[in-house]
Structure 1
Amino acid sequence: MKENKTKNLTLFALTWPIFIEIMLHMLMGNADTLMLSQYSDKAVAAVGVSNQILSVVIVMFGFVAQGAAILVAQNLGAEQQKKAGEISVLSISLNLWFSLLLSILLFSCARWILQLMDLPANIMDEAIIYMQIVGGLIFVQALIMTAGAILRSYGHTKDTMAVTIGMNILNVIGNYFVIFGPFGFPVFGVAGVAFSTAISRFIGFLVLIFLLIKRSQGELDFKNFFRYQKSHVKGLLQIGIPSAGEQLSYNASQMVITYFVAQLGTIAITTKVYAQNIMMFIFLFAVAIGQGTQILIGHMIGSGKINDAYERGIKSLQISIFISLFMASIVYVCAKPLFGIFTDDSTIIETGSFLLLLTVILEPGRAFNLVVINSLRAAGDVRFPVYIGIASMWGISVVFAWFFGIYLNLGLTGIWIAFIADEWLRGILMLRRWKGRQWVSMSFVRNKSSS
């Protein structure tokens, strides 16, 4: 029965729950901010700045989760269920201790961190409260990421989707009570929202662990929680650290580009925010396809089906490019009504609409990276995407953004030209790497079994 479950996975069956899960994160991820806007503008600012810091910390948890997802998939494909279970428990243990350390730092250093952000004094106290509660319990989010990644590698993407739906519903209900105080319930403001977020995450984690134990059918032996096999730890770090480094580099480069946009004025900043919020619902499809493809290729590589893995990567890329191009075109046609949801400023609507026209060129290039990079990682080729990614993010995206956007005074159009050049250059290089098949000899499962 276990063998059939791993061999009968399909891209569609894996991808549609991932799609809904990510969409919910996009729609509901800012629920705290949206609901707090009815309570206090200062509270919104305090929570917004705190979440910006916390999002960087959450990226750091991804290095163990990413490594676990790939190693578990490869071992399941190789029918090494025991090793998959050992790696699952190890990854949960590693991320727990690492995230607990960061939680303690966030709780004890909240004021100092927020002062570095040059936060106004009138929102400092509320920001500290939110940072200490959510940041102090951020280890729960690390465990959610790890358990969710493992469940998806076992093929149970519907489970993680259902848990995400439940967490979001609990969070919104909790926010409603602590912000609006129905039925005489006391209003707690920022502190209440922080506890609502933390509690909903904790309940979600408990459900994920229950599902993980149930779905693995006894393959998870928590006696290994304190037993760290050197080969497993090495494999997790070899995959995870480069992947996390790439994500951190991307976030840092985007912060620099945002600094450039800030020099263009408030309208430019607002237009960029609205445009990128709309664009999220275009590349969401490519993100889901990329994650589903990673799971499939991990299983194929583990079972030695190299040609099947190669063909799966190419087919997924073709599907992703088509969907990205189609969705970007639809969004451009509807650009003005979409921007009209956010604003009635004609300058923002006109500029934003042109940016969405450029997005028709941008998004197919992004699809290359979201699908092929995940395919390379699943095959064990984790360093090449990092090296090329960092070089292109800073050498192309940042440099071109300054040159076209600021130096040539093309504004946001220049910024989008930089995005297009970066995504397409990286995408073409990643496709060449995939077609070159240098990744064939890089499977962590095969390397370990042959040693």
Structure 2
Amino acid sequence: MIETIAEKKQFYRNMLAFAIPITIQTLITSSLNMVDSVMVGQLGVESIAAVGLANKINTMLIIILQGFATGAAIFSAQYWGKGDKTGISKVLMITFAIISSVSLLSMILVVFNSNSIIGIFSDNSSVIVLGASYIKLISFSYLFTGLTILIQVVLRSMGEVKSPMYINIFVIVLNTVLNYIFIFGNFGAPALGVEGAALATVFARVIQTMLLFLLIQKFGILTELKRLTAKEIFDVTLIKNYLTISIPSVINHVVWTVGEMTFFWMYSLMGTDVIAAITLIDPLVFIFMATFIGISDASSIMVGNRIGASQKERAYLYSRRFLFLTFILSICAAFGVILVSPLFISLYKVTDTVAGYASSVLLIYALIISPKFLNMVNNMGVLRAGGDTKYVLYLDLLGVWLVGLPLAALGIYLKLPLYIVFALGNSHELVRLFFGIRRTLTKKWLNEITNTTEKKIDSHY
């Protein structure tokens, strides 16, 4: 397919219109945990390890919720391209019911088993006590976290990315102020330490949910539901189609998350200093990753919109263009990690041993950053836009469980240095890249999963 210069310019304008706000939004959202990490970092190594362990567990739940939200995003993007606003409202409600149930059940599990959960990853009594107190409080934010994830993906699929970004800017400022008050006991408040960080995050999530709910009301999605019966909303055929796409995505997220948790557990066997080093680098990793999450989400929206509009050749052209841009930008990101690492590590009050571990791991990260981010855009963005969630699941099973984890375990068994173990563990990125790109080139992933048309709306992309 040949595009005119005007069409190419329009592609890049649309891409930037999506990617930039999503990148900023991702940075800010990640900062809810990042701010906790940096401020708690002033309390010492044990507090860093405790919050790091708790946030790894929180991340597991968040990624599971994102698995369900991914299904909503895939359908919403194609419905928007097709012009089916009612379809978006139905998918929103189906996903809302599922996410709410999972969030509440997870909160109950954590509240009554916080010490046991943290104890799985550390035998340090101080870390267990601190981590348990933090995660017990933070669990009250799970429902609100799930709702913010869902509302944001639906808004993105409809092309609305700026307003959620502004909301998140406000929320992160609020979270930072509340951290300053509750962690260190400023303005007459008690110094709560790690519990103060958790309390601040809960408040921030509640406010974020309320603001996003008010925003989505303005787009008439909830209004569409008023003219539908419960039977029409929870349409059996739509639910089956949704689950067909979403269940592999959820399993994928679970498998991937358990794999990541297993990696972290393996690192924990190497000592508290290693845990602190791995936790310490997360904020910097997120900063660079945010750009590619923005590109990945932009590819998912734009490619999904084109598939929904029955323009598969243009969708394929978009996918190739997104991958080329990702490759160029990932090379730049690798140099960025190398340049910024020394300054970033100096922000933490840690021992020379922890600083040395963190420095060596970041160097390895820079070396594998290109295949890592190509996988992110291709697998999470392009392939999923066409509903090819089963193949992405197979990719992650192959890469993480048959390559990465066995090699990392071998490295630990042989008592190799941390940076070598980290490199072995991430070698799966190369395997996934090979099979993922090959799948994209076959065009087998270009599936139009929506086949009903109701009231039409303008689709700008």
Q: Report TM bin, short chain.
A: 0.7 to 0.9
Following the alignment from structure 1 to structure 2, what is the Cα–Cα distance between the partners of residues 358 and 132? 34
Provide the residue aligned with 2:385 in structure 1.
Answer: 378
Which residue of the partner structure matches residue 314 of structure 2?
308
| Aligned equivalents of 2:54, 2:174: Cα separation in 1 | 21
Q: How far 1:117 sits from its partner (Å)?
A: 5.4
Moved more, 15-24 or 217-226: 217-226
- Residue in 2 aligned with 1:50? 54
Distance 1:421 1:126, change over 3 A: closer
The Cα of 1:186 is off from its aligned counterpart by 4.6
Structure 1 Cα separation of the partners of residues 311 and 422 of structure 2:
39
Question: Hey, what's the Cα distance between the residues in 1 that align with 2:45 and 2:360?
Answer: 31
Q: Distance in 1 between matches of 2:78 and 2:376?
A: 20
For residues 45 and 362 of structure 1, the distance between their equivalents in structure 2, rounded to whole angstroms, comes to 25
In the alignment, structure 1 residue 68 sits paired with structure 2 residue 72: yes
Return the letter of the residue paired with 2:243: L
Whether contact under 8 Å (1:320, 1:371) holds in the other structure is yes
> What is the percentage of aligned positions where both structures have the same residue?
23
Following superposition, the deviation at residue 400 of structure 1 comes to: 2.1
Q: Equivalent of 2:448, from 425, 431, 443? A: 443
For 1:347 and 1:45, how far apart are their aligned partners in 2? 15
In 1, the alpha carbon distance for the partners of 2:48 and 2:422 equals: 29
1:171 pairs with 2:175: yes
User: Where in structure 2 are the equivalents of 1:167-206 lying within 5 Å?
Assistant: 167-189=171-193, 191-206=195-210
Q: Does 2:438 correspond to 1:421?
A: no
**Partner AA of 2:407 in structure 1:** F
Instruction: Decide which of 17, 20, 43 is 2:24's aligned counterpart.
Output: 20
- d(CA) in 2 for partners of 1:265, 1:424: 28
2:15 matched residue in structure 1: 11
SS of the equivalent of 1:444 reads coil
Letter of the structure 2 residue corresponding to residue 444 of structure 1 = I
Contact 1:106–1:136 (CA under 8 A) maintained in structure 2: no
Of 135, 153, 169, the match for 2:157: 153
Q: Which residue of 2 aligns with 1:79?
A: 83
Question: Which one-letter code corresponds to 1:15 in the other structure?
Answer: A
Q: Is the 8 A contact 2:375 2:433 kept in 1?
A: yes
Distance 2:342 2:13 in 1: 40
Q: Which amino acid aligns with 1:78?
A: K
Distance 1:105 1:136, change over 3 A: farther
Shift in Å, 1:308: 0.9
Shift of the alpha carbon at 1:323? 0.6
d(CA) in 2 for partners of 1:97, 1:260: 31
Supply the AA of the counterpart residue of 1:154. Answer: M
State the 1:119 CA deviation. 6.3
CA distance in 2 between counterparts of 1:103 and 1:363 reads: 34
Structure 2 residue aligned with 1:394, among 401, 406, 412?
A: 401
Distance 2:51 2:185 in 1: 19
1:375 partner letter: V
Match of residue 258, structure 1, among 250, 264, 273: 264
Secondary structure, aligned partner of 2:83: coil
1:315 to 1:216, Cα distance in 2 relative to 1, 3 A = farther
Aligned twin of 1:106:
110
Contact 1:362-1:419 at 8 Å conserved across structures: no
Displacement after TM superposition at 1:84 (Å)? 1.5
Q: Are the equivalent residues in 2 in contact too, given 1:89–1:224 (CA < 8 A)? A: no
Contact 1:317 1:368 in 2 (8 A): yes
Distance in 2, matches of 1:126 and 1:57, equals 20
**Alpha-carbon shift at residue 86 of structure 1 (Å):** 1.9
Match of 1:212 among 203, 212, 216: 216
2:137 touches 2:199 (CA, 8 Å); kept in 1? yes
Distance 2:178 2:206 in 1: 13
Deviations 1:395-434 (A, max 9, x none): 111122233x345654234334435531121112111111
The count of corresponding residues between Structure 1 and Structure 2 is 441
2 CA distance for matches of 1:174 and 1:86?
A: 37
Distance 1:127 1:413 in 2: 26
Q: Does 1:328 align with 2:331?
A: no
Q: Distance in 2 between matches of 1:128 and 1:353?
A: 29
1:141 is aligned to 145
CA 1:172 to 1:87, structure 2 compared with 1: closer, same or farther past 3 Å?
A: same
Relative to the length of structure 1, the TM-score reads 0.85
Q: Which has the higher mean CA deviation after the structures are superposed, 65-74 or 34-43?
A: 34-43
Q: CA deviation at 1:132?
A: 3.8
2: CA distance between counterparts of 1:313 and 1:179? 45
Q: CA RMSD in A?
A: 3.3
Which deviations, in whole Å up to 9, do the C-alpha atoms of 1:240-264 show, x marking residues without a partner?
2222322222232233333444455
Aligned 8 A contact 1:324 1:364 in 2: yes
Unpaired runs of 5+ residues, structure 1, are 1-6
Q: CA deviation at 1:127?
A: 4.9
